[in-house]
Amino acid sequence: VAFAKNNAFEKLKALNANSPVAVRGTVQKKKAKASESADKPAEDSWELALEEIHPLNDFPKETIMTPETVFPPEQRYLQLRSDAELREALRFRARAHNLCKKELEEQSPPFFEIETPLLFKSTPEGAREFIVPTRREGLAYALPQSPQQYKQILMASGLPRYYQFARCFRDEDLRADRQPEFTQLDMEMSFATGDDVMRTIEGVIRRLWSSLMKDPAPEGPFRKVPYQDVMAKYGSDKPDTRYGMEIIRLDQLLPVDLIGKISDLEDPIVEAFKVEGNENDPAETHKFITQFLDSPAGAPFNNNPDGGPGVFIYNGKQPLCGLQPFGFQAAEHVEELLDPDHGDLIILQARPRAPFSGGSTPIGDLRRALHASSVSTGFKPAPTGFDFLWVVDFPLFSPSSDSEPGQGGAAGISSTHHPFTAPKRPADVDLLLTDPTQAVADHYDLVVNGVELGGGSRRIHDAAVQEFIFRDILKMPAERLDDFSHLLDALRSGCPPHAGLALGFDRLVAVMLGKESVRDVIAFPKTGRGGDDAMVGAPSPMTEQALETYHLKLRK
């Protein structure tokens, strides 16, 4: 404000900062100060000559709000108001949303957005659901964990190119920066294979990167790496491929007494990777790894019941360069494969001899944690850029786990992706009859920098195969199989072959903005372990009256 008439300045001074006002005045160019010149203009070169000011509401005097203030989740509105970066993230998100729409709608033939119901039905698709009781006694809806079944039914309905920004609901463990409700960019196409889907999604990614990012748009096609290979090389099905530290297998070559020192397992698999040391100084490397193993981040690895990590520092001044316990043959092999330099770290880790299953191996987790620690402690620079890849050829089925409800079948196995994913090759279809655990899925995940952005698959479009998987492979009870009758009927009605995918949109935006948490790109995220919205106080206790309305009773 430059100057004020009619005691407006006094009124302005009496107001609390951050209060909304209506003003009348003249916007004018500021007079340059002596310190400013034509080539160094003032940052803000306009000012307001204030004539009238009317307060419209009051901002509480006792609330301190600076751009740095961190407000509790209860006051998310103040956080949004004070935190320009947060508001900018939401703007960025809206732009990304529009670009995705544009890319899909400009395809030939175009995709178009179709909304599918949120009041759905409980089906054992894979994740734990939220149930919505109704006033009709004993009847409930379920919120969709994804629009998967509706979008496949759209393919049977002659709507061959669908997409949707879909809200999905999963009542799952919230530790890993997940939200009980989240947004997917969901799509499906008929008469299509996984390659068609992957090509389309690469187009979406390139459009986003070329329009919104400083980094160059990734060129396609993105490489496709089989699940077995990423698990062997990175110990993870969503590896960060930017920083090397690739894993090799050593067990056949290692002396038995060395294996016995790192693990009590009988005949384990032993794997290794190298961490490049800093400044070729073994003492620095020693300090880094000791600090890591003594820190809380290192504890789970030290306490691994299958044996903690075996740590070796490659040291040109020691016999066999510090690899003496390996024996000559294995040391030579390690040198050949890992090509260590003076001061590099070599880590060994054992695991039970079993095929890969699940998302990671102990050495993969260790690789990730060690790398994170090397960056956070300044031992290594943070990797830059984006390295996209498709992880493909997942096993069609995985051993059931307690943490995931799966399809609730009695077979002890669950679908790795979901039960609608097709076997990849004719030989994998044959394996359904002989050894389904060996069957490979036509399932693909999009991974960048250690983050799974999304996944999809070619679907089973033959009702007989789908039913066989539900009943004979997963061994779902008859009444649960009935829950899928709508889908089986739609497939039976001459449904064309189809494939699709969903991108986790919150995560995608967080990755683009380099945010640690999806909460930083959601206006009103759930927080805390229970998935609470602390601002509105949800979930909230049900009143007696509500319980009665929905014919419910609390168990003591």
HEC profile of 437-450: HHCEECEEEEEECC
Q: Which is nearer to ligand ASP, 198 or 272 (CB)?
A: 198
- Distance, CA of 529 to CA of 89 (rounded, Å): 24
Q: Which stretch binds ligand ASP (CB under 6 A): 63-71, 106-114, 377-385, 498-506?
A: 498-506
**Closer residue to ligand ASP, CB minimum distance, 349 or 421:** 421
Cα–Cα distance, 349 to 251 (Å, whole number): 10
Is residue 501 close enough to count as binding ligand ASP by CB under 6 A? yes
Helix axes 227-234 and 362-376, enclosed angle (nearest 10)? 50
β-partners of residue 414 are 398
Could you give the maximum distance between any two Cα atoms of the chain, in Å? Answer: 92
Residue 268 Cβ vs ligand ASP, minimum distance, rounded to whole Å: 33
- Nearer to ligand ASP among residue 185 and residue 289 (C-beta): 185
Quote the least distance from Cβ 299 to ligand ASP, whole Å: 32
The residue (of 182 and 288) whose beta carbon lies closer to ligand ASP is: 182
Tell me the window of 210-218, 339-347, 405-413, 494-502 that interacts with ligand ASP (CB under 6 A): 494-502
Closest approach of Cβ 177 to ligand ASP, in Å? 17
Cβ-based nearer residue to ligand ASP, 194 or 531? 194
Is the CB of residue 15 less than 8 Å from the CB of residue 21? yes
CB-wise, 79 or 415, nearer to ligand ASP?
Answer: 415
Reference 506, options 164, 16, 90; nearest CA is 90
Q: In terms of Cα–Cα distance, which of 400, 490, 417 is closest to 457? A: 417
Angstrom distance (rounded) from CA 395 to CA 392 = 9
Query: Residue 439, CB half-sphere, CA atoms under 13 Å: how many?
Result: 30
Cβ closer to ligand ASP: 258 or 502?
502
Provide, rounded to whole angstroms, the least separation between the CB of residue 422 and ligand ASP: 11
Side chain identity at residue 312, one-letter code: F
Shortest distance, CB of residue 470 to ligand ASP, whole angstroms?
17
> Per CB under 6 A, which region of 82-90, 231-239, 382-390, 450-458 contacts ligand ASP?
450-458
Q: How would DSSP label each residue in 227-248? A: HHHHHHHHSBSS---SS----E
CB of 405 to ligand ASP, least distance (A): 15
Residues between 452 and 481 that touch ligand ASP (CB under 6 A): 455-457
| Minimal distance, residue 394 CB to ligand ASP, in Å | 12
Q: Pick from 50, 502, 510, 522: which binds ligand ASP (CB under 6 A)?
A: 502
Q: Among residues 146, 172, 144, which one has the least CA distance to residue 531?
A: 172
Alpha-carbon gap, residue 374 to 124, rounded angstroms = 42
Give the helix/strand (H/E) hosting 351. Answer: strand 345-351
Count of residues that bind ligand ASP according to CB under 6 A:
8
Q: Which of residues 114-153 bind ligand ASP (CB under 6 A)?
A: 146, 148
The answer to whether 177 and 518 are in contact (CB under 8 A) is yes
Is residue 500 involved in binding ligand ASP (CB under 6 A)?
A: yes
Which residues contribute to the site for ligand ASP (CB under 6 A)? 146, 148, 455-457, 500-502
